[in-house]
Structure 1
């Protein structure tokens, strides 16, 4: 059965090309078209007339996500499961869907691990992030903007955080870029982000971008719950991490870095996925999730948990106060990226 998300993206692409869309079609590889379908709880993003990703907020996911994320050649860099399983994929951590932003301890509530399929021994308490409204959609010749509002709800209580996020999408015939600028505002009470290893911006990558593994693993979350990750067939598994601090492979996990690259191949296409932290973010440079099984993300607020108790941040917001986080996710299909490439890309992103 065809994936409904992919089918919708392809239909959107066809519409964009047939309609002309004010010259925002495949003739211009940098043109970004953003098409809203709020009835279906999705907003589709096309670059050069080709599907890139969708912002979705279905009822069966506990936070809005970008899903799927495709290369310029149309290969998914995000895992399909649990929304659209693909043969040979892992089926662990059901809360790892597409690209997301949340945290494992917000006033004592776990926003990271919440899922309809959460393990029975994981009792939370859980938090949920709900899409509230679309503020602005702008398509353009070289970039597109999507501005949305969400709210963070601890359990059945009233919202404690308002989130305003601006996504800026750009690219060309070989590069795709997502800039996420997220402002969190504490509402009626102080909000504490207790240092926690589960956070903050992340994606779960396709099987091809995982590290080849030769032994089963057990991974324990911040509440002590264990997830078993078995050994799978490593055919076509090619992922390799590189950090700004010169670390590679499994040694990247749990270390600080300005940026991290994940290089690999998908169906013969050289692919690199890069996440860039920003110097203005709290906790910069972030600690990194760079798991061989496919979790890839930057944690700006997990100092005590990620440093083994050597550092403490315990970030908080007083009622009415705000904080802004800015990250860039870059997907290259022209080539895999070197450390030199990444340094240049980081300077373009940060201006220094």
Structure 2
């Protein structure tokens, strides 16, 4: 038996776009199947996730597919393709190195030496970090050394039941995030995934809530890396109030100092708003920060997902290098203290967020971020038909 799968691009040009389809493989293991582009002998690497009763979710990457075009694939018995090292999750002491194609992309740090977990460095298209090194490193010439709680790529909020899990006040103390256990890691030819369960604790160490965090890294070319972040808050210790503050970001980035819009960089959002004056406190489906690093123009974008609370999100984005997706700070962004953007989660409730972080070569326009955003929120549809054998 063979399965025929047709990927329909829809209205958007697809470039290095992950796609998936649910298939019934019966009693055969996925490793005994081979995926090819129909009419070609070239095998396509794929990854399989079990769904039970012989059903699997297959995921692979479509390299290039014009708008309104389709691509035909065939899944038939045979040896599955390999993709070299793929995405490797390599656990170490209090950290997990994440490699794509054998090269370091980033490291997930979670040890108790840090107030909160974060990704650092984030290596860009030309082999140089595109996020700020401070305070992990203090020896980078010309780098700003302000806001020590801005650690590369991270999740934080400044008012959670009155506790500050954003800033770091070493004299008065501050709230922290602590992993319940070392993260669970999965490597693979198409994607790698890291999952962690965290406790958010107050300045006095009392648990305020729990969080499930998932970080998925896709095996894409260096000029268009993609990292998916999923955050699920769980009110396991009673009701939780996420307070109205500008000091926070469910997905937060601090770019390399050379990229700052106050120097030579540029902020741009999905509507064309440019730099802090036109993007701070404004709503948009995505926001991008680009600028020079070692003579090359590179950028980092955050994509908001339509399923997120208060989509499209507001942005706490500054010319000095900070960019965060902030759904709660309405009174600050709208300059109206009679408003209250707080969100209350009842005891036992959950609140989920999804984002994609894209590290790209060139400007937002050169990277085609408007189309890449649709790869995230409107992925191609895949039709599956079985050929009796």
What range describes the TM-score normalised by the shorter chain of this pair? 0.7 to 0.9
Q: Do the aligned partners of residues 283 and 312 (structure 1) sit closer, same or farther apart at CA in structure 2, a change above 3 Å counting? A: farther
Report the counterpart of residue 103 of structure 1 in structure 2: 157
CA distance in 2, matches of 1:341, 1:331: 12
Report the counterpart of residue 316 of structure 1 in structure 2: 344
Report the counterpart of residue 15 of structure 1 in structure 2: none
Aligned residues: 294
Report the counterpart of residue 240 of structure 1 in structure 2: 266
- Structure with higher Rg: it is 2
CA distance in 1, matches of 2:357, 2:203: 30
Determine if contact 2:360/2:367 at 8 Å carries over to the other structure: no
CA distance in 2, matches of 1:311, 1:242: 27
State yes or no: 1:188 paired with 2:234.
no
Q: Do the aligned partners of residues 115 and 98 (structure 1) sit closer, same or farther apart at CA in structure 2, a change above 3 Å counting? A: farther
Q: Cα RMSD over matched residues?
A: 2.0
DSSP 3-state at the match of 1:104: strand
Offset of 1:255 from its aligned partner? 1.0
Offset of 1:84 from its aligned partner? 0.6
CA distance in 2, matches of 1:153, 1:308: 30
State yes or no: 1:291 paired with 2:318.
yes
State yes or no: 1:32 paired with 2:93.
no
Report the counterpart of residue 112 of structure 1 in structure 2: 166
Offset of 1:157 from its aligned partner? 4.1
CA distance in 1, matches of 2:176, 2:350: 19
Deviations 1:17-66 (A, max 9, x none): xxxxx96646xxxx2111011xx200010011111001101323210111
State yes or no: 1:144 paired with 2:192.
yes
CA distance in 1, matches of 2:303, 2:339: 22
Runs of 4+ deviating beyond 6 Å: none
CA distance in 1, matches of 2:106, 2:183: 19
| Structure 2 stretches lacking a partner, 5+ long | 1-80, 380-389
Of the candidates 113, 124, 134, which is equivalent to residue 81 of structure 1? Answer: 134
Determine if contact 1:271/1:336 at 8 Å carries over to the other structure: yes
Deviations 1:86-114 (A, max 9, x none): 11111111111111111010000111012
| Structure 1 stretches lacking a partner, 5+ long | 1-21, 213-236
Determine if contact 1:105/1:111 at 8 Å carries over to the other structure: yes
Report the counterpart of residue 176 of structure 2 in structure 1: 128
